[in-house]
Chains A and B, each alone.
Chain A
Amino acid sequence: MSTVEKPSYKVIGTRPIRHDGVDKVTGRAKYGADIRLTGMLWAAMLRSPHAHAKITRLDTSKAKALPGVRAVVTSKDFPDQGDRLVELGEGSVNMKHLAANVLAHDKVLYHGHAIAAVAADSIHIAQQAVELIEIEYEVLPPVQDALSAMKPESPVLNTDVRTKGYVAGGPGSADQPTNVASRIYFEQGDIKKGFADAAVVVEREFHTATVHQGYIEPHNATVLWNADGKVTVWMSTQGTFTARQQTAELLRIPVSDVKVVPMEIGGGFGGKISVYLPPVAAMLSKLSGRPVQLVMDRAAVLLATGPTPGSYIRVKVGTDKSGRIIAADAYLAYEAGAYPGSPIGPGCMCIFSCYDIPNARVEGYDVCVNKPRTNAYRAPGSTNAAFAMETVLDEIAKQLKLDPAEIRLLNAAKEGTRRVDGPKYSRIGMAETVEAIRDSAHYQSPLPGPNRGRGIATGFWFNVGLKSSVTATLNLDGKVSLLEGSTDIGGTRTSIAMQFAETLGIPCEDVHPSVVDTDSIGYTDVTGGSRTTFSTGIAAVNAANDIKQQLIERAAIHWQTTPDKVQYIDGGVTCSDGQRLTFKELAAELHELGGPVIGQGTSGKEAQGGAFGTHCVDVEVDPETGKVQILRYTAAQDCGTAIHPSYVEGQIQGGAVQGIGWALNEEFWYDPKGLLRNATFLDYRMPTCYDVPMIDAIIVEVPDPSHPYGVRGVGEVPICPPPAAIANAIANAVGVQMTTLPMSPPKIMAELLKQKK
Chain B
Amino acid sequence: MAKKRIVSTTINGDAVEFLCEPRQTLLEILRDVLEMTGTKEGCGNGNCGSCTVLMNGKPVTSCLVLGVEAEGVELRTIEGVARGSELDEVQQAFLEGAALQCGICTPGFIMQTEALLACNPTPTEEEIRFHLAGNLCRCTGYDKIVRAVQCAAERRAGACHK
Q: Do chains A and B touch in the complex (CB under 8 A)?
A: yes
A294 to chain B, nearest CB (A): 14
Stretch at the interface among B35-43, B64-72, B154-162: B35-43
Stretch at the interface among A18-26, A575-583, A598-606: A18-26
A121 to chain B, nearest CB (A): 12
Let me know if B11 is at the binding interface, CB within 8 A: no
Q: Is the CB of A681 within 8 A of B140?
A: no
Bound complex: CA of A691 vs CA of B143, how far in Å? 12
A167 to chain B, nearest CB (A): 40
Let me know if B123 is at the binding interface, CB within 8 A: no
Check A215/B102 contact, CB under 8 A, given A22-B87, A27-B39, A694-B143.
Answer: yes
Q: Chain A, 29-56, contact with B by CB distance < 8 Å: what is the 0/1 string?
A: 1110110100000000000000000000
Let me know if A658 is at the binding interface, CB within 8 A: yes
Let me know if A17 is at the binding interface, CB within 8 A: yes
Check A298/B42 contact, CB under 8 A, given A27-B78, A682-B47, A695-B141.
Answer: yes
Contacts of A269 in B (CB 8 A): 138
Q: Is the CB of A27 within 8 A of B77?
A: yes
Contacts of A217 in B (CB 8 A): 40, 42, 102, 104
Q: Is the CB of A26 within 8 A of B130?
A: no
Q: Is the CB of A653 within 8 A of B143?
A: yes
**Among A18, A267, A688, contact of B133 (Cβ-Cβ < 8 Å):** A688
B48 to chain A, nearest CB (A): 5
**Residue of A24, A214, A655, A687 with most partner-chain B CB within 10 A:** A24
Let me know if B107 is at the binding interface, CB within 8 A: yes
Contacts of B92 in A (CB 8 A): 25
Q: Is the CB of A264 within 8 A of B45?
A: no
**Among B45, B81, B137, B142, contact of A216 (Cβ-Cβ < 8 Å):** B137
**Among B36, B44, B102, B130, contact of A690 (Cβ-Cβ < 8 Å):** B130
Q: Is the CB of B91 within 8 A of A124?
A: no
Check A689/B133 contact, CB under 8 A, given A297-B44, A654-B139.
Answer: yes
Q: Considering only CB atoms, which chain B residue lies closest to A295 in the complex?
A: B41
Q: Chain A, 656-683, contact with B by CB distance < 8 Å: what is the 0/1 string?
A: 1110000000000000000000001110
A-B contacts at CB below 8 angstroms, number: 186
Bound complex: CA of A690 vs CA of B110, how far in Å? 17
Bound complex: CA of A267 vs CA of B87, how far in Å? 24
A25 to chain B, nearest CB (A): 4
Contacts of A22 in B (CB 8 A): 87, 95
**Residue of A34, A266, A692 with most partner-chain B CB within 10 A:** A266
Q: Is the CB of A690 within 8 A of B129?
A: yes
Q: Is the CB of A681 within 8 A of B43?
A: yes
Contacts of B129 in A (CB 8 A): 688-690
A726 to chain B, nearest CB (A): 14
Q: Is the CB of A658 within 8 A of B138?
A: yes
**Among B35, B47, B82, contact of A680 (Cβ-Cβ < 8 Å):** B47
- The number of residues on chain A lying at the interface, defined by a beta carbon within 8 Å of a beta carbon of chain B, is 60
Bound complex: CA of A28 vs CA of B38, how far in Å? 6
Let me know if B153 is at the binding interface, CB within 8 A: no
Contacts of B35 in A (CB 8 A): 36
Q: Is the CB of A298 within 8 A of B91?
A: no
Find residues 693-720 in chain A having any chain B CB closer than 8 Å to their own CB.
Answer: 694-695
Bound complex: CA of A695 vs CA of B143, how far in Å? 6
Bound complex: CA of A267 vs CA of B102, how far in Å? 5
Bound complex: CA of A647 vs CA of B98, how far in Å? 7
Let me know if A646 is at the binding interface, CB within 8 A: yes
Bound complex: CA of A718 vs CA of B128, how far in Å? 25
Q: Is the CB of B39 within 8 A of A689?
A: no
Contacts of A24 in B (CB 8 A): 100, 103, 106
A109 to chain B, nearest CB (A): 25
Let me know if A280 is at the binding interface, CB within 8 A: no
Let me know if A490 is at the binding interface, CB within 8 A: yes
Contacts of B77 in A (CB 8 A): 27
Let me know if A686 is at the binding interface, CB within 8 A: yes
**Among A17, A681, A688, A690, contact of B95 (Cβ-Cβ < 8 Å):** A17
Check A25/B91 contact, CB under 8 A, given A215-B102, A650-B98.
Answer: yes
Q: Is the CB of A218 within 8 A of B42?
A: yes
Let me know if A15 is at the binding interface, CB within 8 A: yes
Let me know if B14 is at the binding interface, CB within 8 A: no
Q: Is the CB of B87 within 8 A of A26?
A: yes
Q: Chain A, 248-285, contact with B by CB distance < 8 Å: what is the 0/1 string?
A: 00000000000000001111110000000000000000
Contacts of B124 in A (CB 8 A): none
Q: Considering only CB atoms, which chain B residue lies closest to A635 in the complex?
A: B141
Let me know if A491 is at the binding interface, CB within 8 A: yes
Bound complex: CA of A657 vs CA of B103, how far in Å? 17
Contacts of A736 in B (CB 8 A): none
Q: Chain B, 72-116, contact with A by CB distance < 8 Å: what is the 0/1 string?
A: 000001110110000100011011111011111111001000000
Let me know if A489 is at the binding interface, CB within 8 A: yes
Q: Considering only CB atoms, which chain B residue lies closest to A20 in the complex?
A: B103
**Among B94, B98, B142, contact of A15 (Cβ-Cβ < 8 Å):** B98
Q: Considering only CB atoms, which chain B residue lies closest to A648 in the complex?
A: B98
Q: Is the CB of A490 within 8 A of B102?
A: yes
Q: Is the CB of B100 within 8 A of A25?
A: yes
Q: Considering only CB atoms, which chain A residue lies closest to B102 in the complex?
A: A267
Bound complex: CA of A653 vs CA of B139, how far in Å? 8
Q: Is the CB of B104 within 8 A of A31?
A: yes
**Among A28, A30, A216, A695, contact of B48 (Cβ-Cβ < 8 Å):** A216
Q: Chain A, 631-660, contact with B by CB distance < 8 Å: what is the 0/1 string?
A: 000000000000010110111011111100
Contacts of A25 in B (CB 8 A): 87, 91-92, 94-95, 100, 103, 106, 110
Q: Considering only CB atoms, which chain B residue lies closest to A491 in the complex?
A: B101
Contacts of B21 in A (CB 8 A): 124
Check A686/B138 contact, CB under 8 A, given A18-B98, A25-B95, A27-B38.
Answer: yes
**Among B37, B91, B137, contact of A689 (Cβ-Cβ < 8 Å):** B137
Closest 9 A/B residue pairs (Cβ): A27-B38, A266-B104, A657-B141, A653-B141, A24-B103, A27-B78, A646-B98, A490-B101, A689-B142
Name B residues whose Cβ lies closer than 8 Å to a Cβ of A: 21, 23, 28, 31-32, 35-45, 47-48, 50, 77-79, 81-82, 87, 91-92, 94-98, 100-107, 110, 125, 128-130, 132-147
Known: A215-B138, A658-B138, A680-B45. 10 other contacts (CB 8 A): A268-B102, A298-B43, A298-B45, A650-B101, A650-B139, A651-B101, A681-B43, A689-B142, A691-B133, A694-B125
**CB<8 Å pairs between A and B, sample of 30:** A15-B98, A24-B103, A26-B91, A27-B77, A27-B78, A31-B40, A33-B41, A124-B23, A216-B104, A216-B105, A218-B41, A218-B42, A265-B102, A267-B102, A268-B102, A647-B98, A649-B143, A650-B144, A653-B141, A655-B141, A657-B142, A681-B42, A681-B48, A686-B136, A688-B129, A688-B132, A688-B136, A688-B142, A689-B132, A694-B125
